[in-house]
C-alpha cells in the first residue's frame, strides 16, 4: 500500500566522492498528510550522479502524474534520485519508490531483485525500440560471426543494454563463447570470442575503423548518426533482436488496480497539450504504449535474455 505522506525534496550537498566524482543525493523529508483518507503519493526514481541536472526534466512528468492519478488514490508525486541500480532495487523492494524508467538491462536487474513489474514501453528520444549491430571494417576479412572466433571485439560497458546485454545474448544464443579480456592485445583462444570495453560507442566505432579490434557492437541509433564516410567503411555482420528503448517499472507496493490507472494515464499523455509538454521535457519521450507482443510475452523475453547472460557471467 502506498504510504500516506506528502513528500518534499531537499538537495543536499556533496555526500560522497569516488574517483573525483561526487553524488548529490535527493533526500526525502516525510511529513504526515493532512489530506482526506486514502490520499497517497507515487515516488519516481532514476539513476544519476547529478540530480540537479536530472530533476528539471523529470519534474513535469512527476507533476502530471500527481495531478492525474486521483482514481488510484494518489494526489501527489515526487522524485528520489539514486546513485546506482542496486539502490533503486532496494528502494523498490522497501516501497521507498514506486516508478522507474530505464533501458531493458538495468530494468530487468531491478525487476529480478525487487519484485517490480514492467508495465509499459517508453519511446525515449522518440524511439520505440532498438537493436544492436555487430560491425566490422570493410575488407577486414571478417564476413560472419564464425570469423570472430579467436579474435577480439569491443563492447561498450558492462551496464549497457545495447552495448553489452543485446550483443552478448545474441552471441550466446548462436552458440559462441564470448569472454572478457583485460587488454586489447591479449591472446584469444580459438574457441572464444574475446571482448574488451570501450566505454563509449563512438570509441567502439573508432577502434573498429582503426583496426584495433576486428568488430564492435553499436546500437541502431548510433549507426544512423554516423557520417556517410564512416558508415561506408563498415560492414554489418549481425543484428540482434529488437528491444524496447525504455521500459516503465512499477514497484511491488502498487496494487493491480492502481497500475491499471497509472498505465491509462501514461498511455494517454500524448493526447493532451499538458501531457505532450511533460513528455517533451522528459528526454523527448514521444509516448508510452503497451508492449506489442503483450506484457507476459515481453517479461518472458526479458527474463530469458537476462538469465542466459547472468548464467554465462557466473561461470
CATH topology of domain 5-127+245-293: D-Maltodextrin-Binding Protein; domain 2 (3.40.190)
Residue 194 vs residues 135, 140, 149, 191: alpha-carbon distances, Å = 15, 17, 8, 10
Question: pLDDT tens for residues 203-245?
Answer: 999 999 999 999 999 999 999 999 999 999 999 999 999 999 9
Q: How many CB atoms lie within 10 A of CB 221?
A: 14
Report the pLDDT value the prediction gives residue 50, as an integer from 0 to 100: 75
| Domains of the chain by residue range | 5-127+245-293, 129-243
Q: Does domain 129-243 have CATH number 3.40.190.10?
A: yes
Give the span between the Cα atoms of 284 and 292, in whole angstroms. Answer: 21
Give the span between the Cα atoms of 125 and 259, in whole angstroms. Answer: 24
Contact 157, 199 (CB under 8 A): yes
Residue 167 vs residues 182, 202, 210, 266: alpha-carbon distances, Å = 19, 16, 21, 31
- Three-state secondary-structure class, residue 177: coil
Question: pLDDT tens for residues 85-114?
Answer: 999 999 999 999 999 999 999 999 999 999
Q: In which residue ranges of the chain is pLDDT below 50?
A: 1-38
Question: pLDDT tens for residues 249-264?
Answer: 999 999 999 999 999 9
Report the pLDDT value the prediction gives residue 39, as an integer from 0 to 100: 66
Contact 252, 167 (CB under 8 A): no
Contact 133, 224 (CB under 8 A): no
- The two beta strands, 288-289 and 117-122, are antiparallel
- Three-state secondary-structure class, residue 216: strand
DSSP-assigned letter for residue 212: S
5-127+245-293 matches 129-243 in fold: yes
Q: How many CB atoms lie within 10 A of CB 7?
A: 18
Contact 135, 290 (CB under 8 A): no
Report the pLDDT value the prediction gives residue 14, as an integer from 0 to 100: 26
Listed as own residue / partner, the contacts of 62-67 with beta carbons closer than 8 Å and 24 or more positions apart are 63/278, 64/265, 64/269, 64/274, 64/275, 64/278, 65/99, 65/262, 65/265, 65/266, 66/41, 66/42
Q: Which three cell numbers stand for residue 246?
A: 525504455
**pLDDT > 70: what percent of the chain?**
88
Amino acid at each position: 500500500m502506498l504510504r500516506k505522506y506528502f513528500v518534499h525534496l531537499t538537495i543536499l550537498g556533496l555526500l560522497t566522492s569516488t574517483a573525483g566524482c561526487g553524488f548529490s543525493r535527493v533526500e526525502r523529508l516525510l511529513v504526515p498528510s493532512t489530506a482526506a483518507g486514502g490520499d497517497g503519493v507515487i515516488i519516481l526514481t532514476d539513476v544519476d550522479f547529478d540530480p540537479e541536472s536530472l530533476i528539471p526534466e523529470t519534474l513535469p512528468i512527476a507533476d502530471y502524474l500527481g495531478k492525474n492519478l486521483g482514481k488510484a488514490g494518489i494526489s501527489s508525486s515526487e522524485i528520489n534520485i539514486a546513485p546506482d541500480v542496486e539502490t533503486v532495487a532496494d528502494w523498490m523492494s522497501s516501497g521507498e519508490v514506486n516508478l522507474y524508467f530505464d533501458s531493458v538491462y538495468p530494468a530487468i536487474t531491478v525487476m529480478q531483485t525487487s519484485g517490480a513489474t514492467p508495465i509499459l514501453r517508453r519511446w525515449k528520444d522518440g524511439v520505440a525500440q532498438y537493436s544492436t549491430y555487430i560491425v566490422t571494417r570493410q575488407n577486414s576479412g571478417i564476413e560472419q560471426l564464425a570469423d570472430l572466433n579467436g579474435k577480439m571485439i569491443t563492447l561498450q560497458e558492462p551496464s549497457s543494454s545495447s552495448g553489452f546485454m543485446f550483443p552478448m545474448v545474441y552471441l550466446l544464443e548462436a552458440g559462441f563463447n564470448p569472454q572478457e579480456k583485460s587488454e586489447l592485445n591479449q591472446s584469444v583462444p580459438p574457441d572464444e570470442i574475446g571482448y574488451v570495453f570501450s566505454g563509449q560507442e563512438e570509441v567502439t566505432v573508432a577502434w573498429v575503423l582503426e583496426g584495433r579490434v576486428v568488430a564492435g557492437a553499436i546500437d541502431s541509433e548510433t549507426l544512423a548518426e554516423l557520417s556517410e564516410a564512416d558508415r561506408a567503411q563498415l560492414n554489418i555482420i549481425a543484428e540482434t533482436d529488437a528491444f524496447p528503448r525504455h521500459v516503465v517499472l512499477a514497484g511491488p507496493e502498487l496494487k493491480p488496480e492502481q497500475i491499471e490507472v497509472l498505465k491509462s494515464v501514461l498511455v494517454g499523455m500524448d493526447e493532451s497539450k499538458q501531457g505532450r509538454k511533460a513528455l517533451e521535457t522528459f528526454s523527448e519521450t514521444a509516448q508510452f504504449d503497451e508492449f506489442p507482443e503483450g506484457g507476459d510475452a515481453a517479461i518472458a523475453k526479458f527474463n530469458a535474455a537476462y538469465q542466459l547472460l547472468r548464467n554465462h557471467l557466473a561461470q
